[in-house]
């Protein structure tokens, strides 16, 4: 503090320059503290109360969490998120990387193809959900089309099958996001030093080996960005579920975000809804923080 004061005396303008970065960041800091962490704290608080219809502040300890643990629907929703999130992120990465590598082979009409892969990302989840709900509609969609075309035995009824409906969500979400992953990796590939590849080729390494051993490992930061964005989409896929299945059949395609929304807003069990939100955040935290930490620390070493 004393140094700041000294500086202040030394030259007010200089001090301003010194403080300017912090000043510029201050509004955002305030926003983050209040709009993110203040609200999370408020949710945490509510999760320890018996808030039902509207927020109240009567402390009930961990009762809401205990109730949540007993709730079958919560477990279905959590399991679905694990399955959906895992498959969605995994398949999107795989498809994205593959398409990026293929597109990087000096393809004609690359710009056009790129746009085709990328455009689904422009659509809102509501539109994607509406479109795929219809495509996968048993009796009207692909189901009917392929039978019309002569594939008599074809059945595509995953949308109404409680055990498979979650894969429908994965299909729609991958369709939407994999092109974006492709774009990220294509951008990354364009940044890779060509001389390294050529050197490896001279050494007699095959193309797949070069990509697997040399190129892809160098794209670690791209993986990081892609993962961030995909996880962001997976958690926010509320819109997709709402438009595509509304959690059905039964509650077999419920996701935690959906669960939280329905308990907080339509069922008047705000305490339990908040508890589910906190658990959701906790799960994200436990996966993300170690990862973020290692990524950010690595960078500081660079």
181: exposed, middle or buried (Cβ count in 10 Å: 0-12, 13-18, 19+): buried
Helix H, strand E, coil C: the string for 107-151 is: CCCHHHHHHHHHHHHHCCHHHHHHHHHHHCCCCCCHHHHHHHCCC
From candidates 15, 60, 142, 227, binder to other proteins by CB under 8 A: 142
15 part of the interface to other proteins, by CB under 8 A = no
From candidates 60, 121, 197, 205, binder to other proteins by CB under 8 A: 121
Q: Judged by CB under 8 A, which stretch of 1-9, 86-94, 209-217, 244-252 contacts other proteins?
A: 244-252
With respect to other proteins, which residue has the nearer C-beta, 167 or 175? Answer: 175
Q: How many residues bind other proteins (CB under 8 A)?
A: 130
124 part of the interface to other proteins, by CB under 8 A = yes
From candidates 59, 148, 194, 195, binder to other proteins by CB under 8 A: 148
With respect to other proteins, which residue has the nearer C-beta, 8 or 130? Answer: 130
CB of 245 to other proteins, least distance (A): 6
Give me the half-sphere count of Cα atoms (radius 13 Å) on the Cβ side of residue 244. 32
Q: Judged by CB under 8 A, which stretch of 1-9, 82-90, 127-135, 209-217 contacts other proteins?
A: 127-135
Q: How far apart are CA 52 and CA 68, in angstroms?
A: 14
268 part of the interface to other proteins, by CB under 8 A = yes
Question: Token pair of 246, please?
Answer: 């509304």
* 7 alpha-carbon distance from chain centroid: 46
Q: Judged by CB under 8 A, which stretch of 4-12, 85-93, 209-217, 291-299 contacts other proteins?
A: 291-299
Question: Token pair of 121, please?
Answer: 């990302």
Q: How far apart are CA 142 and CA 76, in angstroms?
A: 28
Give me the half-sphere count of Cα atoms (radius 13 Å) on the Cβ side of residue 88. 31
With respect to other proteins, which residue has the nearer C-beta, 130 or 214? Answer: 130
Q: Judged by CB under 8 A, which stretch of 4-12, 84-92, 209-217, 230-238 contacts other proteins?
A: 230-238
Those residues with Cβ within 8 angstroms of residue 69's Cβ, 6 or more apart along the chain or in another chain: none
CB of 154 to other proteins, least distance (A): 12
151 part of the interface to other proteins, by CB under 8 A = no
Q: How far apart are CA 276 and CA 47, in angstroms?
A: 8
| Positions 38 through 97 that interact with other proteins (CB under 8 A) | 38-40, 42-43, 52-55, 67, 70-73
């Amino acid at each position: 503090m004393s140094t700041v004061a000294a500086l202040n005396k030394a030259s007010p303008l200089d001090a301003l320059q010194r403080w300017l970065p912090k000043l510029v960041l201050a509004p955002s800091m305030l926003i983050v503290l209040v709009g993110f962490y203040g609200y999370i704290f408020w949710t945490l608080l509510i999760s320890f109360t018996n808030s039902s219809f509207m927020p109240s502040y009567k402390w009930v300890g961990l009762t809401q969490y205990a109730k949540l643990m007993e709730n079958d629907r919560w477990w279905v929703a959590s399991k679905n998120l694990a399955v959906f999130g895992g498959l969605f992120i995994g398949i999107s990465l795989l498809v994205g990387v593959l398409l990026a590598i293929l597109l990087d082979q000096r393809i004609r009409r690359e710009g056009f193809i790129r746009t085709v892969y990328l455009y689904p990302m422009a659509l809102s989840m509501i539109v994607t959900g509406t479109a795929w709900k219809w495509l996968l509609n048993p009796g009207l969609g692909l189901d009917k089309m392929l039978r019309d075309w002569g594939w008599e035995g074809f059945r595509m009824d995953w949308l109404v099958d409680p055990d498979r409906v979650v894969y429908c969500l994965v299909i729609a979400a991958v369709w939407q996001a994999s092109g974006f992953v492709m774009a990220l990796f294509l951008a990354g590939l364009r940044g890779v030093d060509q001389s390294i590849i050529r050197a490896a080729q001279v050494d007699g390494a095959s193309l797949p080996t070069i990509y697997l051993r040399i190129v892809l490992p160098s794209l670690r930061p791209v993986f990081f960005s892609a993962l961030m964005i995909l996880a962001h989409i997976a958690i926010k896929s509320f819109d997709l579920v709402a438009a595509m299945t509304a959690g059905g059949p039964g509650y077999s395609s419920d996701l935690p975000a959906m669960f939280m929304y329905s308990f907080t807003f339509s069922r008047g069990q705000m305490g339990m809804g908040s508890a589910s939100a906190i658990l959701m955040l906790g799960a994200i935290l436990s996966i993300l923080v170690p990862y973020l930490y290692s990524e950010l620390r690595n960078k500081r070493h660079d």
